[in-house]
Structure 1
Amino acid sequence: MNNQQLFSNRVAILATMHQKERVIAPPLEQELDIKVRVTQDFNTDVFGTFTREVKRPGTQIATAKLKAQKALDFTGATLAIASEGSFAPHPSVPYIYSNREIIILLDKENNLEIIGEELSLETNFNHQVVANIQEAYDFAKKVGFPEHGLVVSCQQTANDSSEIIKGITTEKTLLEAVNWALHNSPDDKAYLETDMRALYNPTRMKNIEKATYNLIAKIKSLCPQCSIPGFEITKSIRGLPCGFCAMPTNLVYSVIYQCKKCGFTQEKLFPNGIEFADPGQCIYCNP
């Protein structure tokens, strides 16, 4: 059985209200013949908002899975897709924010769960407290406004949506929102941040597209034992030998692939295409 047999001409419900279908649907339809549909009246904001007035119910992956499962329950479909984004300091590059995008495919018919992801430094995620319109304009210019939308609030932690104005994409609405916030703020400040919802953030939308292609690559990776999609890397083993002294380095020597369905594992040596590390990466040759 191959991925075409599993997914060809099937309808997948995409759990979104922020136009993610623009970058998720085309590659899935082209590569896997999956017909992506967005269901109406499915409110994904109940699973958390970037503006924090609704807390996310679990981890990033757990929330994406919950969205997809609820989409299955809501529509009665057997195939669902959901994505979830997060923004945090990069795990290996200090003081720089990164965008991690998760996209999950749940196949109820075949009891499959496959996750694609993208970790990118490409993000305009930012926020600033301003005391006047000029400061607001300066911040807006820095984060790519008006192509990227903004959010304005009258206090740092909004209690509900009535204290937030989202989706600001014109100078007129920015001016009105900042004046409103300054007038209603308890400290005479306006709180600005980038609107990280996909439809207002083209940079994030590109990362969602990259995560989708990662999902497709994993779906196309079939288990050698049972031919089920989703044969993916579950562990990296470091210790690539130094090209000069042959001592192990911190670079990846091999990776372990595992099938979620049958449990079959397989080791692949030199996944990055090199058999020896540069001596500059060796703690013995370059202490």
Structure 2
Amino acid sequence: MRWQGRRGSSNIEDRRRMGGGGGRIGGGRGIAVGGAGGLGLLAIVLVGMFLGVDLTPLLDDGSAGRTGPAAPISAEDERLAQMVSVTLADTEEVWADIFRQDLGLPYEPVTLVLFRGATRSACGAASLQTGPFYCPADRRVYLDTEFFAVMERRLGAGGDFAAAYVVAHEVGHYVQDELGILAESRRGRQQGADSAAVRVELQADCFAGIWAHHADARWGILEPGDVEEAMNAAARIGDDALQRQGGGVVRPETFTHGTSEQRQRWFWRGYEAGDIAACDTFRARTL
């Protein structure tokens, strides 16, 4: 992915040097997007990291509650933070154009919070265990850049473009919030293969594909193998793949994000079309 030497976003809130203030940070007023269904204790860590739900109360090794000074920021962490900033800047321009040209609406960029260890959000705990998420209550995306290393080590989903796909997916949830889709979706079922929760997540994948389409057309960001990185990441974090990796059986009635095949297909659909109309998962008869 070609991102070096390009403009970063001014909408980054960098908390990485503020210290790890303990993972069990309660008092949340909202619900982070998205959630996860019961997969059994063997899958707790994987689900917590890759589905964006705080499962730290179920972990008993004591790591969730640790406090202490912030770990030093490594050169790789700084590189990833810069990549995230450039990706966020690209999403700002892409979505501002789409909102103005296609929807006749202004686009107010989302704030992305970078942190290490743990921090507070209006939706409760933000930690490595929660994974990246969008919090509607404070309209921020939360991301620990260590998550990208975990993606590579634990799931074999490495690469800058795989990381950028994660950022674009979370920004996609903010776009849904701006358009009133998140609020409407909460009236539907939040679990199951055809639930509102799955449709929300697949649409965010499609929106990530739209970003990739326009970012490449405008800045030539894609290198050989980049799209494959995103497709691989989408496959690795499908509900069915995570359930298998967690040692359990595949239970469609517990799905919250969609299967590997669905996540790949909806990302690809957005990437090919570059059009928000192609991402209407709520009217789709077949997901």
Provide the TM-score with structure 1 as the length reference. 0.23
More strand by share: 1
Rg: which structure is higher?
Answer: 1
More helix by share: 2
